[in-house]
Amino acid sequence: MSSLAGIWQMVLILAQQTAQQAAQPPATQPQVTPMVAMWQHVSTLDVVEALTFISFGVVCLFYGWRIFKILVAICFGLLGLLVAIWANEQLIGGSVVWLAMICILFFSILSIPFMRWGVSFLGALSGGILTTGVTMAFGLGDQRLLLAGGLIGLVAGGMISFIVFKIAVILFTSLGGSALVATGLLGVLHQNTDPQKLELFASDYRWFLPVLILVPMVLGFVLQYRFIKTSQDWSV
- The pTM of this model reads 0.70
User: Hey, how many other C-beta atoms are within 10 angstroms of the C-beta on 99?
Assistant: 21
Q: Distance between CA atoms of 28 and 20, rounded to whole angstroms?
A: 12
Contact indicator for 119, 161 with CB cutoff of 8 Å: yes
Task: Look at residues 62, 66, 97 and name the one whose alpha carbon lies nearest to residue 224.
Answer: 62
Domain boundaries of the chain, sorted by first residue? 42-229
Distances from the Cα of 1 to the Cα of 5, 6, 7, 8, 83, angstroms = 6, 9, 10, 11, 26
Q: How far apart are CA 211 and CA 219, in angstroms?
A: 12
Average pLDDT, rounded, for the chain: 77
CB–CB of 116/76 below 8 Å? Answer: no
pLDDT score, position 133: 74
The sign of the torsion formed by the CA atoms of 126, 128, 130, 133 equals negative
103-150 residue pLDDT tens: 889 988 988 888 888 888 888 888 887 787 777 767 666 677 778 878
Torsion sign across C-alpha atoms 47, 54, 118, 153 = positive
pLDDT digits (tens, 9 = 90+) for 11-62: 455 555 544 554 454 444 445 555 666 777 788 888 888 888 889 889 888 8
For residue 5, name the pLDDT band (cuts at 50, 70, 90). very low
